Amino acid sequence: MTAPIALRNVGLTLGGKRILDGIDLEIARGSFTCVVGPSGCGKTTLLRLVAGLVLPTEGEVQIGGTRVVAPRRDVAVVFQDYGRALLPWRTAAGNVSLALEAMGVAPRARPARIRDLLGRVGLAEHADKFPAQMSGGMQQRLQIARCLAQQPEVLLMDEPFGALDAMTRQGLQDEVLALVGDSGATVFFVTHDLEEAAYLGDVVIGLLPHPGRIARQVAVKLPRPRDQLATRELPEFLRLRRELFDFMRTAEA
Amino acid sequence: MSGLHALPRALAVPALLLIAAEAAMRLGGGTTSDALAPPSAVARALAIGLGDGSLLAASLATLAAAIGGLMLGGALGLLLGLLFGTVPALARLFSITVEAIRPVPAVALIPLALILFGFGYRLEISIVAFAAIWPMLVFTQSAVAGVEPRLIEVARALRLPLGARLWKIVIPFALPRIFVAFRLAAGVALIVAVTVEIAVNPLGLGYGMTMAQQTLRPAEMLAYLVWIGVVGWVLNVALLAVQRRAFGRFM
Ligand SMILES: Nc1ncnc2c1ncn2[C@@H]1O[C@H](COP(=O)(O)OP(=O)(O)OP(=O)(O)O)[C@@H](O)[C@H]1O
Ligand SMILES: [Mg+2]
């Protein structure tokens, strides 16, 4: 099988500004890739290229061997600002339903699917709540449920837990690992939290700014399943953490 | 609004004013003014008008014209607002035209509409419609153009077709503000309808009021005035209640 995500010499110039340059990347099926780098280096832009929300000015992005020219339904995007990415006038069930409607799922088949999806993210009891009545963590779970409704081959996440407190974040990290473990999706995960990148990923990619380019690709050799306490105490985790911190220090210098 | 507790105190001022007016008229000594009548006489005229059904009939006529015009102009404004809001190029193309027509006072079209339609409902509805277009158009356009860009991206990522994007994302997002525009347009519609009736059109509350004035019945004229205020107030309160019911949950 072809690599689900491949970028070949991808470059992007917007308004005369070079934003990304010479990005070459292959991401293995079912793997979890984390992207780190200083603020403004182009992490979000890279993710949007993979999503097909932006098209490259050079090179090409491929998913499953075909060139990306527009967003695809088998590629789901979890945005950081869940508060803006949910429909405030729809309940949790209604928000999940939006994806099912887009997928062309018959109305009769939707309620069961919605129940199942909300159950998978722990929101079974909250199907009738509006986003405004939910905590940040619940809203982000809801957005993840909507993405899972797309039954995505590829899950793109842009700092999904950046706005959440540490406890909620750790809980969601484990939930995401379990969910993608079940679904076998390939994950592309942007974060500015280096420990999060090491904890979640199979690979961590380090970007450098001006223009955004790949400077580092680190394989994470930590056993799965990961554990919030045990994994973070492993010497390999500490070594990775050190390596990523050093990278960021030089990147920001 | 500070709740019902403030109501008695808020009513004290108008009550005092009414008493003062009544007293001034009576003590003023046999004033048989052509323009003024004591509040008690106005109240009597109001009761008579309500009793014999004349006020209600006039209200229905005015409301029919106002609502007809509101629906016509409102729908047109809504449609144009949706169009201009979703297709900025179209908005730019028409911006000068819109900016040139919009400042024309609706009532300035009375002579033209009179030639086209003659007296009656069509005259009044057309003028009201013209006035109702603008608040709907301007508010709808800005509400649609202001749809959360993130939701547009969600729609793109889900590959929602244009119709679904409008119906499931854009319109619901803009709806609360479109409803505010509708409330404004409804107020404008009532004002313009009554104005057209006062100016030329022989029907409704405005005409009834003018007739009372011209036949030197100030109490009846003022009763009409009070009643028009009541109709406008009820209209606004009702629309506010609808708004709160429809959008209160998640706004
Ligand atoms: N539409 C655009 N037009 C012009 N420049 C843009 C556009 N979008 C992003 N940029 C620029 O591209 C660069 C990368 O932005 P991007 O949002 O991808 O960075 P990031 O790594 O995600 O940053 P952060 O960590 O703050 O989220 C920035 O310098 C930004 O100003
Ligand atoms: Mg970003």
Residues of A in contact with B173 (CB under 8 A): 89
> In chain B, which residues touch A (CB < 8 A)?
148, 150-151, 153-154, 156-160, 164, 168-169, 172-173, 175, 249-250
C-beta pairs of A139-142 under 8 Å, 24+ apart in sequence: A139/A82, A139/A83, A139/A86, A140/A78, A140/A82, A140/A164, A140/A172, A141/A172, A141/A175, A142/A82, A142/A86, A142/A92, A142/A95, A142/A96, A142/A118
- For ligand 1, say whether the CB of A48 is within 6 Å of any of its atoms: no
Task: Give the chain B residue nearest A134 (alpha carbons).
Answer: B250
Between chain A and chain B, the number of residue pairs with CB atoms below 8 A apart is: 52
- For ligand 1, say whether the CB of A42 is within 6 Å of any of its atoms: yes
**pLDDT in the model for residue B24:** 82
Which of A51, A76, A98 lies closest to B168 in CB terms? A98
In this structure, of B57-61, B144-148, B188-192, B243-247, the range with the lowest mean pLDDT score is B243-247
Ligand found nearest the CA of A157: 2
Which of B158, B164, B250 lies closest to A88 in CB terms? B250
Task: Kindly give the distance from the C-alpha atom of residue A26 to the centroid of ligand 1, in angstroms, as a whole number.
Answer: 22
Which of B150, B158, B172 lies closest to A89 in CB terms? B172
User: Over 50: is that where the pLDDT of B1 sits?
Assistant: no
Which of A85, A88, A89 lies closest to B154 in CB terms? A85
Report if pTM > 0.90: no
User: Over 80: is that where the pLDDT of A239 sits?
Assistant: yes
- For ligand 1, say whether the CB of A208 is within 6 Å of any of its atoms: no
- For ligand 1, say whether the CB of A64 is within 6 Å of any of its atoms: no
User: Over 90: is that where the pLDDT of B7 sits?
Assistant: no
Residues of A in contact with B175 (CB under 8 A): 89
B54 C-beta neighbours (distance < 10 Å), count: 14
CATH of domain A5-251: 3.40.50.300
Amino acid making up residue B5 = H
Which class in CATH covers the domain with range B37-247? mainly alpha
Task: Give the chain A residue nearest B150 (alpha carbons).
Answer: A85
Which of A20, A43, A252 is the best mutation target for the ligand 1 pocket, counting ligand atoms within 8 Å of the beta carbon and taking the most? A43
CA distance A182 to chain B (A): 22
The domain limits of chain A are 5-251
**pLDDT in the model for residue A2:** 59
pLDDT per residue over A69-116, tens digit each? 999 999 999 999 999 999 999 999 999 999 999 999 999 999 999 999
B157/A51 CB distance under 8 A: yes
The mean pLDDT of chain A is: 94
Cβ proximity of A213 and A20 under 8 Å: yes
Atom of ligand 1 nearest to the CA of A41: 21
In this structure, of A74-78, A150-154, A181-185, B57-61, the range with the lowest mean pLDDT score is A181-185
- The residue-averaged pLDDT of A18-23 equals 94
- For ligand 1, say whether the CB of A13 is within 6 Å of any of its atoms: no
Which of A23, A35, A36, A41 is the best mutation target for the ligand 1 pocket, counting ligand atoms within 8 Å of the beta carbon and taking the most? A41
Length of chain B measured in residues = 251
ipTM: 0.91
pLDDT per residue over A220-236, tens digit each? 999 999 999 999 999 99
What confidence category does residue A3 fall into, taking pLDDT thresholds of 50, 70 and 90? low
Task: Give the chain B residue nearest A83 (alpha carbons).
Answer: B150
Beta strands across the sheet bearing A5-14:
A17-27, A5-14, A58-63, A66-67
Question: Cα–Cα distance between B110 and B164 in angstroms, integer?
Answer: 41
The domain limits of chain B are 37-247
Q: Give me B132's structure tokens.
A: 């109702």
Which of A73, A79, A131 lies closest to B158 in CB terms? A73
Ligand found nearest the CA of A54: 1
Question: Cα–Cα distance between B236 and A71 in angstroms, integer?
Answer: 45
pLDDT per residue over B101-126, tens digit each? 999 999 999 999 999 999 999 999 99
**DSSP secondary structure letters along chain B:** ---GGGHHHHHHHHHHHHHHHHHHHHHT-S---SS---HHHHHHHHHHHHHTTHHHHHHHHHHHHHHHHHHHHHHHHHHHHHHHHH-HHHHHHHHHHHHHHTTS-GGGGHHHHHHHH-SSHHHHHHHHHHHHHHHHHHHHHHHHHTS-HHHHHHHHHTT--HHHHIIIIIHHHHHHHHHHHHHHHHHHHHHHHHHHHHHT--SHHHHHHHHHHHTT-HHHHHHHHHHHHHHHHHHHHHHHHHHHHHHTTT-
Question: Cα–Cα distance between B24 and A225 in angstroms, integer?
Answer: 90
Q: Which of B165, B171, B250 to mutate to test the interface with A (most CBs of A within 10 A)?
A: B250
pLDDT per residue over A171-198, tens digit each? 999 999 999 988 889 999 999 999 999 9
Residues of A in contact with B249 (CB under 8 A): 130
Smallest CA separation from ligand 1 atom 18, residue = A42
Q: Which of B148, B153, B154 to mutate to test the interface with A (most CBs of A within 10 A)?
A: B154
**pLDDT in the model for residue B210:** 94
Ligand found nearest the CA of A14: 1
Question: Cα–Cα distance between B39 and B18 in angstroms, integer?
Answer: 7
pLDDT per residue over B157-215, tens digit each? 999 998 999 999 999 999 999 999 999 999 999 999 999 999 999 999 999 999 999 99
